[in-house]
Amino acid sequence: MSQPTLSTSLSLADGSRRLSQSSPSLHTYLDKRVIKSQRETKRTRSQRARERLQTKEHLTRLAVGLYEVELADKLERCHSRLSVLTCGRHIARIIPNFTCEFRLCPDCSRRRSRKLQNKYLPAMSAFMLHRRVTPVHLVLTQTHRKENRKQSAKRIKDSFTKLQRRGFWKEHFKGGTWSLEFTKDRNGLHHTHLHIIGFRRRFFDIELLRGEWLAATGDSHVLNLKPIKDIAAGLQEVVKYVSKPLDIRRFGAEDLKEFLGLKNMRMFGTFGEFRDFCKDFEPSDNDGDEVTDLESLNRDLVEGCACPKCNEPLFDLRMSGKELPQFYEQVESSPPGEVRKSSH
């Protein structure tokens, strides 16, 4: 595979974050899904905004087809009018008129995953510092069976509980987070994966872990493990599966119906020692509290404030949600100071 691996590196010294290209090594986790999501991060903001709109339109059509009138109406209103605080070159803050909070809504799930990151990143940094553990991204898979999404999720979560009770696991891990990812193959079989950020106490032979997973599942030894160099990027990667549990654009009415039946299923959680740590954790000045998104840093900004990136004054641009991709495009392609209020 020639797909380059995009890894983000975090410089703890100055808190700045850079994107760096590194060539794939033999040990790089080359699972197709990860490659796909890496490609996604390379798309421009305008492309992503356009795709969010398309996803929403698709979901709305499905909801209408299922006579889920209230859901369709909420989706249509969500982010339909925006107040965009911009200097013309940067977008500092986007305030929507309404948020639907539907789990599959791409705008709302984006906000939810940002919240998860803001909540857990400081705790993770502190935990690593105090407990001297290193984070790894572990993907656990299971064999495919004819079962529905709920059964498939329960089966893999139960197996993971068994794994955690085993001596090997306790000896090598100090807890972490889990998130569920669902995919469906051409034959309609559910593939459910667990993405774990595990805090590793010491190295071990991966084959031993495969054996442990086989013992827990009874029939699957398939897993992937890669070290996480940058905990912010690692967390961002796993919460992505929470915000985007499946490829919604390939979603049919039946899928939506089934998903609506899952209302209360948890998609993300903490476990083990890290779980207990989070209960008592209060971030202090010494613990890194990197916020991964500019927009969430800018909650207090109003019109007239200086743009955090260039110090130019911010103005408030009103637009419909449908106009946002085009505005991103303008911002992306404009040299300093080009986009003005007249661009509306």
User: Interface residues with Zn ion (CB under 5 A)?
Assistant: 78, 87, 89-90, 100, 105, 107-108, 307, 309-310
Residue 186: phi, psi to the nearest 5? -60, -25
Which C-beta is closer to Zn ion: that of 225 or that of 248? 248
149-167 burial, b for 16+ CB within 10 Å, e for fewer? beebbebbbebbebbeeee
Which C-beta is closer to Zn ion: that of 139 or that of 307? 307
Query: Which residues, other chains included, contact 279 with Cβ-Cβ below 8 Å and sequence gap of 6+?
Result: none
Which C-beta is closer to Zn ion: that of 46 or that of 298? 298
Residue 64: phi, psi to the nearest 5? -60, -45
**Shortest distance in whole angstroms from residue 243 CB to Zn ion:** 11
Which C-beta is closer to Zn ion: that of 129 or that of 306? 306
Which C-beta is closer to Zn ion: that of 219 or that of 338? 338
**Shortest distance in whole angstroms from residue 75 CB to Zn ion:** 6
Taking the C-alpha atoms of residue 337 and residue 339, their distance in angstroms, rounded to an integer, is 6
Which C-beta is closer to Zn ion: that of 227 or that of 337? 337
Closest by Cα among 155, 304, 177 to 237: 177
Taking the C-alpha atoms of residue 198 and residue 177, their distance in angstroms, rounded to an integer, is 7
Beta strand segments in 159-293, E: 173-184, 190-200, 223-227, 268-271
**Shortest distance in whole angstroms from residue 158 CB to Zn ion:** 32
**Shortest distance in whole angstroms from residue 162 CB to Zn ion:** 37
Please state, as a whole number, how many other Cβ atoms lie within 10 Å of the Cβ of residue 303.
11
**Shortest distance in whole angstroms from residue 68 CB to Zn ion:** 14
**Shortest distance in whole angstroms from residue 56 CB to Zn ion:** 7
Residue 324 sits at the vertex; the CA angle it makes with 322 and 330, to the nearest 5 degrees, is: 130
